[in-house]
A and B are shown apart, each in its own frame.
Chain A
Amino acid sequence: MGLLSWSRKKSPWIFHVNAASCNGCDIELVASLTPRFDVERLGVQLVPSPRHADVLVVTGTANALMRERLKTIYEQMPEPKYVVAVGACALGGGVYQECYNVTNGIDKVIPVDLYIPGCPPRPEAIMYGILKLLGIAPEKELEPALEEEIVGAGASK
């Protein structure tokens, strides 16, 4: 079943993991639940267990203590599953790159399907990224300037 048709059949359930992050990205993710952004109206739901989730959203640097837990959580998710890395730390270590206890990007631990840059990315950017992953983002291309503003330069390629 293609990702597009699958995602249209059910609302994506998201499980969030904080893999040694400063909380900035996590708070912007949680803020997307609150009335101003209200991601739940789009069918996106946060679930409390990886066993029920379709999408794993990871923030943070995946330090030595969190790496194994991250792998375990990934393995507990049923197929089909997708991983989203949110924030500069999850992308490539962020400001902590090359520190003695961090991984330079969580894609060295688990496979990643989508990267959302920012430190932290705005709630709208996080939402847009997840919707884009699932093919629910608007069919029409956004004006390049707006897309660049939300998702970062180079995204519209």
Chain B
Amino acid sequence: MTDSPLDPKSEASAGLMQYSPENLVPFGPVHPSLKEPEYFKLYLEGEKIVQVVPRIGYVHRGIERAAQDRTWVQNIYLFERICGICSFAHSMAYTQTAERLTAFEVPRRARYIRLIIAELERIHSHLLWLGLVGYWTGFDTLFMWVWKDREHILDLFETITGNRVHKSFITISGVRNDLPENIIEPLKKEMKYLTGRVDYYSDLVSTEETLVARTRGVGRIDQDVARRLCPVGPLLRCTGIARDIRKEDPYAAYDELVPDVKTSNQGDIASLLLLRLEEIRESCRLVTDAIEKIPAGNVKLAVPRVIPAGDSVGHIEAPRGELFYFVRSAGGMKPERVKIRTCTMANILTATEMLKGHTLADVPVVLTGMDPCFGCMDRIAVVDVAKGKEWSVRGEELRLHGINWYKPGRQT
């Protein structure tokens, strides 16, 4: 018997709620650092997790059905609100897929601007994630520093697009407005500053003892898992498979400004940390390049009210991976069907694979490590297979359990 609050026999667990299997009610606060509420059921044998059953749907809003009742342009505002972090990615993927059904060519200047906003969003998303890793491992200072740096990107968004989060900057046939004047120098300066910060954070995550102990070798996956379960994004690239939609299927201005695809072959959370930091560095370079080489010209054509009939598929490399849209038009003012496959949907199965063989203390790090677009640690149910006991844990308890588990000097 340990003194862990998660050991049902310990005294410390006396305050925890315990439910019989028929009565399991997922219960738990959402910590402010977590985003969406989800539900994972973990089956334990002894200390080790042997099976994970996710139950999603806590954020299901009926968007695909709603898209059928809105015009083509109205849907841009709908889709960007699928996610507050990768909102531009969603609106861009939808717009590009719909544009494929038309005959016009998006102006070059608009394509460069789309690239700039998309890369800035990648930077902001990875920084947000890094801050959350800091939070979940008890490294509050890292969280504060990183999110303070992230504010710089939000300032840029506000200057260029008018909003910090839902930018509504894209439109069918281009972008809504041109870049503001005198944006070149501030943008370059900011990219230089962030590249310096990436150096600092890369050094930090590779040397800070507790962070290394909690991430090295944890959540390891290999290429076989990747081939079987088809994850996307950094999760795929950390196994050594160099696939990136920006390079394989260039869109926006990626045919002219080709990104350097970063991979790692370690497949664990520590390598994901470094990989995402390298991606931030690469994004800074792309933005600097784009703003220097951006051609003159107009930024949109006449926005159509009707899209010609047909089926179209398209995908982009959102911060979390391949984001896929299928659009069917019947030639009218509203789409007949829009199907969306988000990156996290593609990664859930891989995440459950990553959890197997680990203890509860590793759950926060592994689940954050996959950079989910939901705060899955809000409510977790734990099933002890041998004893047939089931109880639920709050994300906050798991976080503290993990921090204590990895304290230097603790007997494991």
A69 within 8 A of partner (CB): yes
Q: Among the listed stretches A19-27, A140-148, A149-157, which one makes contact with chain B, having 4 or more residues with CB under 8 Å of it?
A: A19-27
Q: By the criterion CB–CB under 8 Å, are A120 and B84 in contact? A: yes
Known: A18-B37, A72-B27. A23 touches B61 (CB 8 A): no
Interface of chain A residues 27 through 79 with chain B (CB within 8 A): 27-31, 33-36, 46, 48-50, 60-61, 63, 65-66, 69, 72-73
The answer on a CB contact under 8 Å between B29 and A100 is no
Q: Which A residues touch B34, using CB under 8 A?
A: 18
Of the A-B pairs whose beta carbons lie under 8 Å apart in the complex, a sample of 26, sorted by A's number, is A16-B30, A18-B36, A18-B37, A19-B37, A20-B58, A20-B60, A22-B81, A22-B87, A23-B83, A23-B85, A24-B87, A24-B166, A26-B35, A27-B128, A28-B165, A46-B31, A65-B57, A65-B58, A72-B27, A73-B29, A95-B81, A96-B61, A96-B81, A99-B66, A100-B65, A120-B84
Q: Is the interface of B mostly helix, strand, loop or mixed?
A: loop
Q: Mark B125-137, 1 if CB is under 8 A from A, else 0.
A: 0001000000000
Residues of A within 8 A of B57 (CB): 65
Contact A34 B151 (CB under 8 A): yes
Say whether A102 faces chain B, with CB atoms less than 8 Å apart: yes
Check A18–B33 contact: CB distance below 8 A: no
* 0/1 string, B147-190, CB within 8 A of A gives 1: 11001001000000000111000000000000000000000000
Of A20, A61, A122, which contacts B164 at CB under 8 A? Answer: A122
**What 0/1 readout, one digit per residue, does chain B (74-108) give for beta carbons within 8 Å of chain A?**
00011001111101000000000000000000000
Residues of chain A at the chain B interface (Cβ within 8 Å): 15-31, 33-36, 46, 48-50, 60-61, 63, 65-66, 69, 72-73, 94-96, 99-102, 119-120, 122
Instruction: List the B residue with the shortest CB-CB distance to A100.
Output: B62
Contact residues in A for B83 (Cβ distance below 8 Å): 22-23
Query: In the complex, A122 Cα to B58 Cα: how many Å?
Result: 25
Contact indicator B32/A30 (Cβ below 8 Å): yes
Contact partner, A101, options B36, B62, B81, Cβ 8 Å: B62
User: Given A17-B30, A27-B128, A33-B32, does the pair A102, B82 have CB atoms closer than 8 Å?
Assistant: no
- Distance in angstroms from B241 CB to nearest chain A CB is 28
Number of B residues contacting the other chain (C-beta, 8 Å)?
42
Give the distance in Å from the alpha carbon of A16 to the alpha carbon of B33 in the complex: 10
Does B8 belong to the interface (CB within 8 Å)?
A: no
Interface residue B375 (Cβ < 8 Å from any Cβ of A)? yes
Cβ of A24 and Cβ of B148 under 8 Å apart?
A: no
C-alpha gap A34/B144 in the complex (Å): 6
A122 to B63, CA, bound (A): 25
- CB distance A26 to B77 under 8 Å? no
When the two chains form their complex, are residues B165 and A48 in contact, meaning their CB atoms are under 8 A apart? Answer: no
Contacts of B166 in A (CB 8 A): 24, 119-120
Are B61 and A102 touching (Cβ within 8 A)? yes
Interface flags, B1-44, vs A, CB<8A=1, else 0:
00000000000000000000000001101111111110000000
- A18 to B81, Cβ gap below 8 A? no
A49 x B29 contact (CB < 8 A): yes
Partner of A15, one of B29, B128, B151: B29
Residue from B33, B154, B165, B375 having most chain A Cβ neighbours under 10 A: B165
Asked if B302 is at the interface of the complex by the 8 Å CB criterion, the answer is: no
Given contacts A18-B37, A31-B151, contact A96 B29 (CB under 8 A): no
Q: Contact at A18–B30, with CB atoms within 8 Å?
A: yes
